Amino acid sequence: MGWLSHAIFFVSVMVFAQQPPTELRITGSLIKPLTLTSADLADMPRATVSLKGAVETEYEGVWLFELLKKASVPLGVELSGEALTTYVLAEARDGYAVLFSLGELDPAFADNQILVADKLNGKPLSKEEGPFRIVVPRERRAARSVRMVTHLEVVQLKK
């Protein structure tokens, strides 16, 4: 292999190493931790959320509670007692993190639509926003609409 081949190989490795993660990990107090890709989300029941601002935008993805169900998190009638002390910490690639109680994520408890989006206006999210973004359309401030989400940690508080 000549020096040019080595240089091309080195540049290829560096470019690949700088690519953002394209997986969403769900870990923590779970029986069944998950790692999901965009293809996995594409195979799940899809939903859309429209946000009205200066320009109307439409996010598409999967409801967060559907991802939690897939990870066997107690929801619906199973969400009672100690399970109600559980929260989900959503973490972004840049270190930003927000917290949701399990009760507010469960449609049996609250009418609070929270979407894990992988598309914006019909196209995959940009690398600055994605590959996954949590969208919380009913909150007055968008502080918990997290871009570049890479990890959801499910934590049950212990006394």
Please tell me the predicted confidence (pLDDT) of residue 2.
59
SS3 category, 114: coil
Q: What domains appear along the chain, each with residue ranges and CATH number?
A: 21-156 (3.90.420.10)
Please tell me the predicted confidence (pLDDT) of residue 82.
87
Predicted model pTM: 0.83
Please tell me the predicted confidence (pLDDT) of residue 144.
87
Give the amino acid at 64: L
pLDDT band at 128 (very low <50, low <70, confident <90, very high): very high
Work out the percent of the chain whose per-residue pLDDT is above 70: 87
Work out the percent of the chain whose per-residue pLDDT is above 90: 57
Beta strand ranges found along the chain (DSSP E) = 23-28, 34-37, 47-51, 57-63, 86-92, 97-101, 115-120, 123-124, 133-135, 149-156
- pLDDT over threshold 50, residue 33: yes
- pLDDT over threshold 70, residue 42: yes
Name, in order, each residue with C-beta under 8 angstroms of 85's C-beta and a sequence gap of 6 or more: 156, 157
